[in-house]
Chain A
């Protein structure tokens, strides 16, 4: 938020994380949004409908009949090289998994937003992080990955909307913004990204030569499909996807560190939980405990190397999540048994307090 000093008061806006995503989408030249209402993220489509971007940028905003239709509308739009997106919350994202798998295999760029709520089932409408596995381990069928960005502030909701599109088009693959009900609903100061024009058809034809805009005389038909009945060819497609995911792992890891320089104990947490843990780290420092926080921003690609490097320098790690313990698996894989990695989590829509996290830090790793 220090950057805000460089801006005029007029440019600093107060809004919900969900609203910030809608504004950022219009501003970054999004062509189409397709969604279905579900708490706690309905403000995204509501804001878009209020902004009426079809009158300004020409962006299409459509309320679909289901999440299934929404993600398949995104498939259709993305197949035309259009910047398209959808948003939902946990149960709705579950419904989209078939479509997401198709989009990943057809190698189409798009953005999906999941403002997580407590599950399983219809669950609660309170915040949760229990869709971590679904987001980074697949969710749908087959071997695929989603670039997964985890915002921890309203500003990051806006910024990562822009970044998610950039990465999606850079790698021709779907990007997921994995937020939670807190980030979606809370209001904070935000500086919205500058307006970028939507891509013209000529730009799309150049940037996305595979796009189905109509077969011109100078090329063969473009076909967007995820079907390939020959196993050898399907393996080749899979290997191409895997190479892309390795490239993403090599180039796109993002994370943030807080008080890690001299830390003996590091907490690993993302999104809303990372903010709670930052407070817990400050409280621990007051008590003389050398604690730090590492916040993965990209959950895929996961900051494995950074976490692994700390395992040679510190005594123990604590992973804190609003789940029964999902990301902790990836932390343990990175650490590979060199130091203890403990877990603390709250379930079903409960946000842990800094006091709870500090107690967990002391009980589970410092006292041991």
Chain B
């Protein structure tokens, strides 16, 4: 194939969604955030919702999510994204409102806001990135850190007697009558990326149909925090994270 054939629009098989801009991402190579950002942007474009979407960025590595997707954003205080989303969706019910939160933001400091927004059945989507670690602050223990998993604040591994148990918050959210769709995915293979995208689409559609709160957990890697190569991180995730946080629908109504 010649260069001209390759760049011929007739041969175009893939293009970057216009909802994503060209700002270079600050995420580490191998990080799951970039893929999830892309999926959200693609779904927004496919639903033709760029003008009707308000995203809520968390505190954590994704605090700068607003730099990469060309939609309106609010950046929340640590853990408070579901509170912001609640007010925005109630005041603008025809808008698509989603939060994008990490495990520390959603399941530690923001536990109350997360559970109560979901329990009220707010018509929002919560995208939950679970990599079992605080990435931005340098790899400290998260609520979802596995037993025995090393972090900056559990240098000898998470000790249940000292640190308590990993919190399966998604399972807990699935128990609440306010949630309509609670599902867990990953983005470490092409097949998983496709499934995750379908889940995000379904969650966004639920939000617009007023079905209640949708939660899409993405079990993710943090190769910098885990101190593994990107490839080794994926293997470690499959071997260790998936047994604790199994993929699939926890609730689909």
User: Bound pair: A and B?
Assistant: yes
Could you tell me which A residues sit within 8 Å of B by CB distance? 31-32, 34, 60, 62, 64-66, 68-70, 72-77, 79-80, 82, 84, 98-99, 102, 212-217, 220-227
A129 to chain B, nearest CB (A): 28
Please determine whether A214 and B90 come into contact, CB atoms closer than 8 angstroms.
no
B74: chain A residues within 8 A (beta carbon)? 75-76, 79, 212, 223-225
Q: How many of B's residues come within 8 Å of A, CB to CB?
A: 32
| Complexed CA–CA distance, A272 and B90 (Å) | 37
Please determine whether B77 and A99 come into contact, CB atoms closer than 8 angstroms.
yes
What would be 16 A-B contacts, judged by CB atoms less than 8 Å apart? A68-B112, A69-B86, A72-B77, A72-B113, A75-B83, A75-B87, A76-B85, A76-B87, A79-B88, A213-B72, A214-B53, A215-B53, A215-B71, A215-B72, A224-B73, A224-B74
Given contacts A65-B116, A69-B83, A73-B84, contact A98 B50 (CB under 8 A): no
B78 to chain A, nearest CB (A): 9
| Complexed CA–CA distance, A121 and B56 (Å) | 33
Please determine whether A226 and B54 come into contact, CB atoms closer than 8 angstroms.
no
Closest residue of chain B to A79 (Cβ to Cβ) is B74
**Is B150 part of the contact surface with A, judged by Cβ < 8 Å?**
no
Contact pick for B76, options A31, A72, A84, A223, CB 8 Å: A72
Quick one: which of A102, A214, A220 has the most chain B CB within 10 A? Answer: A214
**Is B140 part of the contact surface with A, judged by Cβ < 8 Å?**
no
A29 to chain B, nearest CB (A): 13
Contact pick for A82, options B50, B51, B76, B91, CB 8 Å: B91
Given contacts A60-B91, A74-B87, A212-B88, contact A225 B77 (CB under 8 A): no
**Is B184 part of the contact surface with A, judged by Cβ < 8 Å?**
no
Which residues in window 41-91 of B have CB below 8 A to A? 50-54, 56-57, 63, 66, 69-77, 80, 83-88, 90-91
Closest residue of chain B to A31 (Cβ to Cβ) is B91
A158 to chain B, nearest CB (A): 24
Closest residue of chain A to B112 (Cβ to Cβ) is A65
Please determine whether A62 and B73 come into contact, CB atoms closer than 8 angstroms.
no
Contact pick for B75, options A66, A77, A224, CB 8 Å: A224
| Complexed CA–CA distance, A65 and B84 (Å) | 13
- Binary contact track B18-44/A, C-beta < 8 Å → 1, others 0: 000000000000000000000000000
Please determine whether A77 and B51 come into contact, CB atoms closer than 8 angstroms.
no
| Complexed CA–CA distance, A333 and B235 (Å) | 66
A222: chain B residues within 8 A (beta carbon)? 72-73
Contact pick for B72, options A31, A34, A212, CB 8 Å: A212
Given contacts A32-B90, A215-B51, contact A221 B77 (CB under 8 A): no
**Is B232 part of the contact surface with A, judged by Cβ < 8 Å?**
no
Please determine whether A80 and B92 come into contact, CB atoms closer than 8 angstroms.
yes
B56: chain A residues within 8 A (beta carbon)? 76
Please determine whether A77 and B113 come into contact, CB atoms closer than 8 angstroms.
no
Quick one: which of A66, A102, A213 has the most chain B CB within 10 A? Answer: A213
**Is B95 part of the contact surface with A, judged by Cβ < 8 Å?**
yes
Quick one: which of A62, A212, A224, A226 has the most chain B CB within 10 A? Answer: A212
| Complexed CA–CA distance, A52 and B12 (Å) | 55
Please determine whether B91 and A32 come into contact, CB atoms closer than 8 angstroms.
yes
| Complexed CA–CA distance, A216 and B70 (Å) | 10
The 6 closest A-B pairs by CB, nearest first: A76-B84, A72-B83, A76-B87, A225-B75, A72-B80, A212-B72
Please determine whether B73 and A223 come into contact, CB atoms closer than 8 angstroms.
yes
Contact pick for B77, options A62, A80, A84, A102, CB 8 Å: A102
Please determine whether B87 and A73 come into contact, CB atoms closer than 8 angstroms.
yes
